[in-house]
Structures are given as structure tokens and as C-alpha cells.
Amino acid sequence: MNTEQATTLFDSLSSGVRLDAWRLLVKAGFEGKVAGEMAREMDIAPNALSFHLKAMLHAGLVSVEQQGRFQRYRANIPVMMDLIAYLTENCCAGETDTECHPDKLSACCLDNRSKRN
């Protein structure tokens, strides 16, 4: 990942609606969510949500699959993990045996997530 890619990802998450949509898709896991279902859950007009999902799709944060007349969106977790790795690659001056190494951070984040739920 480079600075331009990271900036594109941050730009695509630069609204509360998009952050809420991202978190909803992460929570849905591999099953993802149909756009209309997301709009109802988020209490937002479907056309407004489509605008935001399109920006996230363009950035690569989500994928979409046509299912009949519905579109199912899924969070692209590997892209987000690449962004986190990019942000933390120089953590602790690149020392790999420290607690802030990206591999350990991932495990820490997963541990903390399970404690919150």
C-alpha cells in the first residue's frame, strides 16, 4: 500500500454514514448485507446510501454481488488490514519482537473486540 491508496481509503470513509455502513458490513461478515436492508437498518434513504456505497466500492473497501434485483455488499477486510499494516509498519522503529508489531496488533485488536461484544 502507498500513500495515495491510503488517502483514497480514508477519503472513502470520511463520513459518518460510510463509517456506519462499514461497521454494519463488518458485523455481517461474509454473508454481507443487501443494500435495501442496510438502508432500513441505518434509517437512511436507499438512494443516499447507494451514493455512499458507490464511493466505498470505488475505493475497494467493499465488494458487491448482483443477486437477482438486489445488490449484496460485503466488507473487504483484507484491504482494511492492509491499511492498518501501512499505518503501523514503522511502529516501534520496525522492531518485530515488540508488542506493537502489526502481527501482534492484529491479535490484540481481535482480543479486544471479543471482550467488547
Query: Which CATH number fits the domain that encloses residue 27?
Result: 1.10.10.10
* Residue 64, number of CB atoms within 10 A of its CB: 15
Which strand ranges, in their side-by-side order, compose the sheet holding 33-34? 33-34, 70-75, 62-67
Which residue type is seen at 87?
L
User: Domain containing 54: what range?
Assistant: 3-75
Domain shared by 62 and 85, yes or no: no
pTM of the model: 0.76
- Residue range 89-109: average pLDDT? 61
Cell digits for 71?
Answer: 445488490
Cell digits for 85?
Answer: 499494516
Domain shared by 46 and 83, yes or no: no
Summarize pLDDT for 48-82 with one digit per residue, the tens: 999 999 999 999 999 999 999 999 999 999 999 99
* Cα 21 to Cα 39: distance, rounded to the nearest angstrom: 9
The strand pairing partners of 71, in sequence order, are 66
Summarize pLDDT for 2-24 with one digit per residue, the tens: 999 999 999 999 999 999 999 99
